[in-house]
Amino acid sequence: MPIARKSTNSTKTTKAAQTTSELPPPLTSKTSEKEQVISQLQAILEVKAPEALPLLNQLLQLSRIDPREIVETEKRSRSIVISGVAEAEGDLSPSERLAHTEAAVNNVLDVLGVEARPSEVYRMGALTEGKPRLIKCVLPSAQFYSVALRNARSLRSISGFDHIFVRRSMTREEREKDRDLRRQVRELNDKDHHGNRVFVVYRNQIVKASEIPKLKHSASKNF
């Protein structure tokens, strides 16, 4: 009786399955190129410099972008803060106070030449007697934001608006930096120029007021 030869198909299939299982999983649409690079870098550090892995993880945590920050940054790019607008007087309801604030903001925007309806207007902070709260005004686009800031200085020469100030909306860190720069400007002007307005804060830096026209001209040439 002839001896039947064993089929090698099953053996080949088993070896192929083992070899396939040892290969890394194929790239899928859900696996980004960034994640692959990070995985490769982690694998290298585990062998070559494991002490650097905590630093890599810390860097990854810092580099992650919070979607809420993206939304807030975009909104801040078209938001202004108005100070010096008197609070509504009398025992009024919140909606009546809001209506008063909105009307006052519309008057300011008229003077600034902003032909747009704000998407948000509200007072910031708790109501304190004798101290008007700041007003946050979110405009529909950065174009109107630019117009408002460009014309903000004109309020000083208009009766009834000379006590109102308009600035850009800033983060806590930006406000602290701005406050520190203005403190330095006051000290420079008081110490060396008898309080005269020689130095000012312009675009997050201390410059001489006389140099601003030249800086504006230089900036316009770059666009």
Is the pLDDT reported for residue 29 higher than 50? no
144-158: pLDDT as tens digits: 999 999 999 999 999
- Taking the C-alpha atoms of residue 46 and residue 38, their distance in angstroms, rounded to an integer, is 12
Sheet containing 120-123: which strands, arranged edge to edge?
A: 120-123, 135-138, 79-83, 165-168
Residue 16 has pLDDT above 90, yes or no: no
| Mean pLDDT, the chain, whole residue set | 83
What is the set of domains in the chain, with CATH numbers?
61-169 (3.30.70.330), 170-222 (no CATH)
Distance CA 11, CA 165 (A): 84
Whole-angstrom Cα distance, residue 143 to residue 24? 51
Specify the pLDDT at position 223.
52
Q: What string of H, E and C letters represents the secondary structure of 170-219?
A: CCHHHHHHHHHHHHHHHHHHHHHCCCCCCEEEECCEEEEHHHHHHHHHHH
For range 206-214, the mean pLDDT:
87
Beta-bridged to residue 18, according to DSSP, are: none
Question: How much of the chain exceeds pLDDT 90, in percent?
Answer: 48
Q: Whole-angstrom Cα distance, residue 208 to residue 197?
A: 9
Average pLDDT over residues 86-95: 93
pLDDT in tens, 34-70: 778 888 888 888 888 888 888 888 887 777 777 788 8
Is the model's pTM score more than 0.75? no
Specify the pLDDT at position 37: 80
Q: Which of 172, 179, 203, 170 is nearest to 79 (CA)?
A: 170
